[in-house]
């Protein structure tokens, strides 16, 4: 398996994630929710979005978010290679998947798109390294032992960086961000799906702002 070195564009995306320290994980049930949600993220000071491809509206919602150039837009829950193309065509700049989906990884490498696959074991990390990847998603983080497990697993892999996701909230995010190899944490508490569906974007802006202030203090 040949090693694929990251491009400067990919490195810039990781730097942006690291600077914000949070990646909001978003589920959108209606495409028209994309624009006001993007506005809420920008207003709250966290212009990063991982839109999960769990709903029929996800691609159109991404297209609406992509109209906001300040938002670092990515696609999550990408399971198939063809979804990579659809997500990129809809404006996604990076791809996140829940596991080591080889087809997804290989398609991202072909397109030169940043891929952050899910990893939960040392073997997963080793496979990611074989592909030349420098970041993986530790998922589901809390279900697999949380920050304590991640810290222990990361120790032998000094060059690998992690985006832990799954069960992370305001009460435990500091435990993960304290680990030097963590780039950013994925979380959904600041983009609550119920609030989105109810159109309460002012409330989302407030939650986003609170999350930003929280991580600034860590």
| Given 33, 93, 137, 151, the catalytic residue | 137
Q: Is the pLDDT of residue 3 over 70?
A: no
Q: Give the global pTM.
A: 0.95
> Would you call 33 a catalytic residue per the annotation?
no
Tokens describing residue 161: 């960086």
What is the overall mean pLDDT for the chain? 96
What integer pLDDT is reported at residue 5 of this predicted model? 59
Find the mean pLDDT for residues 49-64. 98
> Would you call 194 a catalytic residue per the annotation?
no
Tokens 């960086």 — which residue?
161
DSSP β-bridge partners for residue 52: 76
| Given 50, 93, 134, 151, the catalytic residue | 50
d(CA 172, CA 175): 6
Q: Which CATH architecture has domain 8-209?
A: Alpha-Beta Barrel (3.20)
Which residues 6+ apart lie within 8 Å of 149 measured at CB?
Answer: none
Q: Outline where the chain has alpha helix (H).
A: 8-20, 34-44, 58-65, 81-89, 102-111, 122-130, 146-154, 173-177, 193-197, 201-216
């Amino acid at each position: 398996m040949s090693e694929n070195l990251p491009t400067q564009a990919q490195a810039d995306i990781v730097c942006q994630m690291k600077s914000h320290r949070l990646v909001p994980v978003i589920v959108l049930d209606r495409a028209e929710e994309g624009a006001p949600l993007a506005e809420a993220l920008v207003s709250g000071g966290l212009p990063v979005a991982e839109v999960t491809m769990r709903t029929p509206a996800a691609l159109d919602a991404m297209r609406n978010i992509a109209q906001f150039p300040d938002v670092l837009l990515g696609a999550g829950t990408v399971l198939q290679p063809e979804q990579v193309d659809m997500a990129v065509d809809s404006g996604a700049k990076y791809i996140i998947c829940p596991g080591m989906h080889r087809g997804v990884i290989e398609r991202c490498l072909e397109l030169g798109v940043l891929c952050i696959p899910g990893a939960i074991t040392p073997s997963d990390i080793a496979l990611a390294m074989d592909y030349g990847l420098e970041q993986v998603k530790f998922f589901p983080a809390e279900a697999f032992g949380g920050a304590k497990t991640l810290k222990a697993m990361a120790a032998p892999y000094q060059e690998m960086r992690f985006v832990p996701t799954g069960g992370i909230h305001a009460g435990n995010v500091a435990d993960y961000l304290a680990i030097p190899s963590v780039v950013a944490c994925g979380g959904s508490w600041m983009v609550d799906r119920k609030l989105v569906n109810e159109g309460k974007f002012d409330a989302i802006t407030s939650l986003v702002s609170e999350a930003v202030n929280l991580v600034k203090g860590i």
